[in-house]
Amino acid sequence: MCFKSIYTIKPLLLILGVLLLGTAQAEYGINFPEPAGKVARDIYDIHMLTMQIATFLLIIVFSIVLYSVYFHRKSRGYQADQNFHNTWFGHWSWVIVPALVLGVDFTIAHGANTVLKTVWDVPKEKDIMDLKVTGHQWWWEFDYLDHGIKIESRALTEDKAGDLYLRDVDNRLVLPTGTKIRFLHTSADVNHAFWVPELAFKKDAIAGYVTETWIEMDREGVFRGQCAELCGTWHSRMPIVVEAVSPEKFAEWVGKEKAVEEAAAAEASSEKSWSKEELMAKGEALFNTKCAACHQINGTGLPPAFPPLKGSPIATGAIVDHLKIVLNGKEGTAMQSWSSLNDLEIAAIITYERNAWGNDTGDVIQPADVKNAR
């Protein structure tokens, strides 16, 4: 379309088109989501107070403007007052208006400061539940320090998430209601930020530091958030899903998770000799979950930051070097240590990487090999 034809479009139709386009792509929510705890509700109340004051002032200002535009227009023969600045209001408005503005600011700031102190002052109670939150490129790790449970949470693929693509995860962060929970935030690589609007806070996760926040949820539900710090290529693939449940349901969930972890640990520590087919099946599932974000499902990687494994010297070279880089990571790169995985998981991943995508080395790595390499 040429520029001339663009300028012939009627302004009303152009505005209508923009509005329709925006409506088609936007959610219909007009306010923050309903808070899930007292601190979150206090923040929400500060927001509502600010909006009420802003709306009140907006009505006053617009009323004065509309009044002036109508009654002081030239077509009514109105003559502008050339001495307004010499009137009483003209002299003192420079003091009165800023004083009113400061009064409004202080009205908001007093309540906001009180709430901010509540957010930052983590309760020192002995029975508070500790949860360590570690941000990774590009997934979350949650350590239930009081329960001996660790879960990894990653975004579901589009075919599994459906309408909740980039908003749903494979493992939710399950938390109990009516319990004070202290979040300990840190990062394994770059800066991340843990943010769930219903939980009140947004906190940076910084490598080498531990920062604190806390929450006590007063209702059950599923609350969705995301990483709020630009952390790299797949920043958008770091959603957070918190599932708040009753203390009874949480205790039941903890029991199930412990049973699963104990079974996995027992399986990994057994003396069983695994076949290549068994290791390949396990390795493919683990690789697609834990490694594909950087190295791609087809092993081609995202050079130069994430090198390909397909035909790479690591995946086709000496097994000892392959084990070393998986267990220890590679300094100065995004490749982190995967020593937190059990021997069977690492054995399965390495076996898969050495026999997938045409690498076809024929190598089979057993859990015992990984145990010896540690």
Kindly report, residue by residue over 145-172, the tens digit of the pLDDT.
999 898 989 998 888 889 999 999 999 9
In this prediction, residues 174-180 reach a mean pLDDT of: 94
- Note the pLDDT tens digit of each residue in 48-75: 988 898 899 899 999 999 998 998 888 8
The pLDDT of residue 17 is 53
Whole-number mean pLDDT of the chain?
A: 85
The pLDDT of residue 335 is 80
Amino acid sitting at position 272: K
The pLDDT of residue 282 is 87
- CA nearest to 216, candidates 42, 37, 44, 33: 37
Per the CB < 8 A criterion, the answer to whether 151 and 134 are in contact is no
The pLDDT of residue 176 is 96
Superfamily of 129-265 according to CATH: Cupredoxins -  blue copper proteins (2.60.40.420)
Confidence tier at 331 by pLDDT (50, 70, 90)? confident
In this prediction, residues 312-334 reach a mean pLDDT of: 86
- Note the pLDDT tens digit of each residue in 245-294: 999 999 999 999 988 888 777 777 777 788 889 899 988 888 888 888 78
The pLDDT of residue 222 is 95
Q: Is 159 helix (H, G, I), strand (E, B) or coil?
A: helix
Most trustworthy range by pLDDT among 172-186, 197-211, 300-314: 172-186
Between 85 and 310, the higher pLDDT residue = 310
Q: Is 271 helix (H, G, I), strand (E, B) or coil?
A: coil
In this prediction, residues 31-58 reach a mean pLDDT of: 89
Topology of domain 270-373 in CATH is Cytochrome Bc1 Complex; Chain D, domain 2 (1.10.760)
| pLDDT beyond 50 at 7 | no
Q: Which residues pair with 238 in a beta bridge?
A: none
- Note the pLDDT tens digit of each residue in 71-104: 888 888 888 888 878 888 888 888 988 998 888 8
The pLDDT of residue 169 is 94
From residue 309, give the alpha-carbon distance in Å to each of 299, 318, 322, 362.
Answer: 5, 14, 11, 16
Q: What is the Cα–Cα distance from 278 to 283, expressed in whole angstroms?
A: 8
Per-position DSSP letters for 237-250, written without gaps between them: G-EEEEEEE-HHHH
- Note the pLDDT tens digit of each residue in 182-234: 999 999 888 999 999 898 778 899 988 999 999 999 999 999 999 999 988 88
The pLDDT of residue 30 is 77
| pLDDT beyond 60 at 132 | yes
Q: What is the Cα–Cα distance from 151 to 266, expressed in whole angstroms?
A: 18
pTM metric for this prediction: 0.72
| pLDDT beyond 90 at 27 | no
The pLDDT of residue 66 is 94
Confidence tier at 244 by pLDDT (50, 70, 90)? very high
> What beta strand segments (E) does the chain contain?
129-136, 139-144, 149-153, 173-176, 180-187, 192-195, 202-205, 211-216, 221-227, 239-245
